[in-house]
Amino acid sequence: MSEIENNQVLHMLDGPLSLWNSEQESGLSGYLEFLQSNDYKQLPYVDINACMVADLFTSKRKSLEIGDPTDISNLSTLLPYCDYILTDRDQMKRIKRLNLDKKYNTKVFALSNINDLFSDLEKIE
Tens digits of residue pLDDT in 87-111: 999 999 999 999 999 999 999 999 9
Q: What is the predicted pLDDT for the residue at 25?
A: 63
Nearest alpha carbon to residue 71 among 36, 42, 38, 108: 108
Identity at 29, one-letter amino acid code:
S
Q: Is the pLDDT of residue 6 over 80?
A: no
Q: What is the predicted pLDDT for the residue at 43?
A: 87
Q: Is the pLDDT of residue 7 over 80?
A: no
Q: What is the predicted pLDDT for the residue at 63?
A: 74
Distance linking the first and last C-alpha atoms of the chain: 48
Q: What is the predicted pLDDT for the residue at 24?
A: 60
Most confident residue range from 29-38, 63-72, 95-104? 95-104
Per DSSP, the three-state class of 66 is coil
CA distances from 100 to 25, 43, 87 (A): 35, 14, 14
pLDDT band for position 39 (cuts 50, 70, 90)? confident
Q: What does the pLDDT average to over 20-30?
A: 64
pTM listed for this prediction:
0.72
**Higher per-residue pLDDT: 38 or 82:** 82
Question: Over the Cα atoms of the chain, what is R_g?
Answer: 17
Q: Is the pLDDT of residue 27 over 70?
A: no
